[in-house]
């Protein structure tokens, strides 16, 4: 998914309920009603007793009011620039072992001509000693519960990455006497969990694959093939070994949803071994998982741990959804309603996949 869609919230439980209902109208209405989220990309540069905080926001993913302020700031309106900088000064709190950090001067940059985004830069002066830096991010109070901030924290000798969310607003970074930053990947694990649970297109594809049933060994092969495939391309994309256009990736992901659902409705599967389908389309889904991490521009230092944490989080969230859905599918196969439920649910998934495909190709 692209940056603008990456944080869209349609929780896995809603997608699961949609399949359970098997209602075309219910699924279509949920698909139309889901709201977009936003992702900010922050750089935190520690140097001596100063901290430079830079946050890049895209107007397209924010509320109309804030989006207008960003456009006006890009056009040079001083009042809009000060309002945006005031947002950072008011909602970002930094403190060290020696006390709090005071927000100082700031400025606004427009890093991209193609995308309506701005980078807000504010300098903080902190009390000494700086053996530990605590960052409290309450920007969600203004940007909404669907916002997330991916942050890269740099010192002269090391780098660490954090993912700020409404339920994970604080990061505590241990600094050595020379300003060295400790490494960690827990926040990226949580981000991975949240990403898969809110990534309804990935979940619909996976649920469409297992909806038709089969033996436990077959289901295990399907899930394993999807996991292996998207793990490989996620790593390749984040490491910039192989990168595909986001628009193409999104469109193919939507098409994969529609094709799997259509295959469920046909008397005979087009590909008898569904784990092959899972693997091939899983490669594309891995590129979708990578979009947000790539745009953060994570440095090579500490990248492996962040990537590993994110991928493990994706797998944990995926395992949670499968654990919730699978017992219900097993019970369903013991009733006379199985064929009707599979057909109606597959039809709903097919419609959603086609709508997403048209949207991502033409809109």
pLDDT score for 24: 31
**Confidence band, pLDDT 50/70/90 cuts, at residue 12:** very low
Degrees to nearest 5, angle at CA 299 with 280 and 4: 55
Residue-wise pLDDT for 273-284, tens only, equals: 888 999 999 999
How many whole angstroms separate alpha carbon 252 and alpha carbon 152?
Answer: 30
* CA pair distance 54, 272, nearest whole angstrom: 51
Q: Which two tokens stand for residue 234?
A: 């996620």
Q: Which token pair is 255?
A: 């098409």
- Cβ distance 181 to 175 under 8 Å? yes
Give the tens place of pLDDT for each residue, 27-36. Answer: 333 333 333 4
The 10s digit of each residue's pLDDT in 75-115 is 888 999 999 999 999 999 998 877 889 999 899 988 666 56
The two tokens of residue 344 are: 């109606």
Query: Averaged over 153-180, what is the pLDDT?
Result: 73
* Confidence at 302, pLDDT banded by 50, 70, 90: low
pLDDT at 16 > cutoff 60? no
Phi, psi of 51 (to 5 degrees): -130, 120
Q: Which two tokens stand for residue 30?
A: 């949920």
To which H or E segment does residue 202 belong?
Answer: helix 200-211
Rounded to an integer, what distance in angstroms lies between the CA atom of residue 256 and that of residue 311? 21
Buried b (16+ CB within 10 A) or exposed e, 114-148: eebbbbbbbbbebeeebeebebebebbeebbebbb
Q: Burial, 247: exposed, middle or buried (Cβ in 10 Å; 0-12, 13-18, 19+)? A: exposed
Strands (E) in the chain, as ranges, are 38-47, 50-58, 92-96, 99-109, 117-126, 132-137, 147-154, 159-164, 170-174
* pTM across the whole model: 0.58
What is the C-alpha to C-alpha distance for residues 221 and 218, in angstroms, rounded to an integer? 5
Of the pLDDT bands very low, low, confident and very high (cuts 50, 70, 90), residue 255 is very high
- For 155-182, what is the mean pLDDT? 71
Domain residue ranges in the chain: 3-36+190-362, 38-184
């Amino acid at each position: 998914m692209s940056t603008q869609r990456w944080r869209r919230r349609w929780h896995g439980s809603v997608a699961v309920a949609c399949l359970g209902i098997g209602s075309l109208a219910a699924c279509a209405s949920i698909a139309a009603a889901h709201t977009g989220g936003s992702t900010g990309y922050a750089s935190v540069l520690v140097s001596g007793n100063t901290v430079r905080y830079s946050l890049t926001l895209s107007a397209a993913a924010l509320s109309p009011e804030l989006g207008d302020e960003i456009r006006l700031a890009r056009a040079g309106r001083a009042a809009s620039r000060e309002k945006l900088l005031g947002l950072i000064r008011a909602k970002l709190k930094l403190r060290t072992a020696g006390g709090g950090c005071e927000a100082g001067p700031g400025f606004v940059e427009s890093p991209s001509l193609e995308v309506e985004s701005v980078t807000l830069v504010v300098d903080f002066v902190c009390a000494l000693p700086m053996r530990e830096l605590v960052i409290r991010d309450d920007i969600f109070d203004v940007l909404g519960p669907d916002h997330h901030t991916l942050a890269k924290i740099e010192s002269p000798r090391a780098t660490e990455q954090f993912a700020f969310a409404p339920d994970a607003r604080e990061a505590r970074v241990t600094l050595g006497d020379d300003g060295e930053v400790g490494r960690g990947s827990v926040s990226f694990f949580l981000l991975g969990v949240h990403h898969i649970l809110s990534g309804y297109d990935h979940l619909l594809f996976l649920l469409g694959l297992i909806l038709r049933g089969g033996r436990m060994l077959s289901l295990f092969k399907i899930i394993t093939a999807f996991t292996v495939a998207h793990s490989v391309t996620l790593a390749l994309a984040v490491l910039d070994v192989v990168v595909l256009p986001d628009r193409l990736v999104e469109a193919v992901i939507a098409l994969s949803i529609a094709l799997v659902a259509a295959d469920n409705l046909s008397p005979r599967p087009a590909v008898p071994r569904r784990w092959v389908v899972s693997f091939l389309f899983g490669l594309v889904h891995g590129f979708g998982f990578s979009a947000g991490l790539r745009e953060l521009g994570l440095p090579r230092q500490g990248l492996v741990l962040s990537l590993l944490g994110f991928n493990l989080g994706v797998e944990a969230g995926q395992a949670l959804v499968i654990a919730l859905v699978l017992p219900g599918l097993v019970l369903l196969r013991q009733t006379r309603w199985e064929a009707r439920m599979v057909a109606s649910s597959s039809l709903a998934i097919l419609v959603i996949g086609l709508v997403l495909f048209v949207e991502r190709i033409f809109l």
